[in-house]
Amino acid sequence: MTPQLLWLATLDGVAYAALVFLVAVGLTLIFGVLRVLNVAHGSFYAIGAYTAASLGIAISSGGLPGWLSYPALILAAVLIGTLLGSLIERQLLARIYGKEEVLQLLVTFAVFMILEDVQRLVWGVQPYFQDTPLRLLGTMEVAGVFYTRYQLLVLPATALVVLVGLRLFLRHTLQGRVILAVTQDREAAMAMGIDAHRVYLTTFVLGASFAALGGALASPTTALVPGIGSDMIVLSFAVVATAGLGQVEGAALAALLMGLGRSFAVYMYPEFEVLMPYLIMVVVLLIRPQGLFGVAETRRI
């Protein structure tokens, strides 16, 4: 492999990892706090993407300036995360926190299936496309190959901002510390007067917003079709399992590993491209069953 190809594979891997990280970090955050493996997370990704595309189309057909499509990406993420996220948490998940894990899985899976159909009813099945944000920034040449600035700069930068921001939020703000406290020990936190239900709601909305943001950011680069949510959820499960459930920094590292693994595979053994993330997961879990950053838990009775 020449240095040029090494560069190319790295850049591709990082851009891809950035999107995967955004979705996976929401999933792992929700699991860390709520202890629910949320299959409907993929729907937030898909609906966030569709909403962002619709807003973008409305902006361009309304003759508004193109740069508005950037705030539209954030708006779509916040809208979907807040509205859909709080609705699902309050109306459904709040009823099943104490129940068996299998039941929780089934309920979120059912939500996922329902939202897939809602998405089809609202947006239909024909591919959607809206790439104003990507066009605005144009391309740049790296090692003789053209890249879109959007992919090379915007995506990794957003992922980095989310990673650092989330770390600061969790470690250095009251609300963040409260979330960490509930993650560590729910009963003790509640005994200290923390309103766990509020923490659950905040976390779920935050996590859902990250997934929707991942979708919104992906929307300018890809055609939106039914089923994009399910593909993403499977991949982010792999990331979260590799990282260790509930580990934010771990999710970043795992996403990066998988992104790079995948892009290097395309250059060297294209047949392994699809397999790569799962191969990495299996190898990591064989060596560290609790995941890269996971801590082995003592079972509470």
Partner 1 sequence: MSILARALAACLLGGLLGVAQAAERPEEIVIGITAFLSGPASVFGEPGQAAAEMIIDNINAQGGIDGVPVRAIYVDEGAGGEHVVSEYRRLVQQEGVSAMLASISSGNCNQIAPVAEDLKMLNIMWDCGTQRIFEEGDYRYVFRTQANATPEMVATVLYLLKTKPDFQTIAVVNQDYAWGRESWKIFSTALKALKPDVQVVAELFPKFGAPDYSTEISRLSALRPDVVLSTSWGGDLDTFVRQSAQRGLTGMSTFVLPLAESSLQRLGKDLPEGVIVGGRGDHYFLHPEFRDDPAFQAFSAEFREKTGAYPIYPVFHMAQALAALQKAYEIALENSEAWPDTEALVDAMEGIEFRGLTRPVRLREDHQGLEDQLLGTTVHSDTHDFAVLDNIMIFPADPITTPVGQISEEWVETLDPAMLEMEVDTYQHGQ
* Binder among 136, 273, 285, 290 for partner 1 (CB under 8 A): 273
- Residue 92 Cβ, how far from partner 1 at the closest point, in Å? 24
- Identify the residue whose tokens are 């299996």: 282
> HSE of 192 in the Cβ direction (CA atoms, 13 Å)?
10
* Binder among 161, 188, 225, 295 for partner 1 (CB under 8 A): 225
Between 49 and 199, name the residue whose CB sits nearer to partner 1: 49
Stretch that binds partner 1, among 135-143, 193-201, 243-251, 283-291 (CB under 8 A): 135-143
Binding pattern for the stretch 11-40 against partner 1, x by CB under 8 A and - elsewhere: xxx-xx--x---------------------
- Residue 230 Cβ, how far from partner 1 at the closest point, in Å? 9
The reply on whether position 131 binds partner 1 by CB under 8 A is yes
Stretch that binds partner 1, among 86-94, 97-105, 123-131, 161-169 (CB under 8 A): 123-131
Cα–Cα distance for residue pair 84/63, rounded to 1 Å: 29
Stretch that binds partner 1, among 65-73, 97-105, 129-137, 292-300 (CB under 8 A): 129-137
**How many residues lie near partner 1 (CB under 8 A)?**
45
Stretch that binds partner 1, among 142-150, 157-165, 238-246, 287-295 (CB under 8 A): 142-150
- CA distances in angstroms from 95 to 91, 176, 267, listed in the order given: 7, 24, 48
* Binder among 60, 82, 139, 290 for partner 1 (CB under 8 A): 139
Residues near partner 1 (CB under 8 A): 4-5, 8-9, 11-13, 15-16, 19, 120, 125-127, 129, 131, 134-135, 139, 143-148, 151, 218, 221-228, 231-232, 262-263, 266-267, 270-271, 273-274
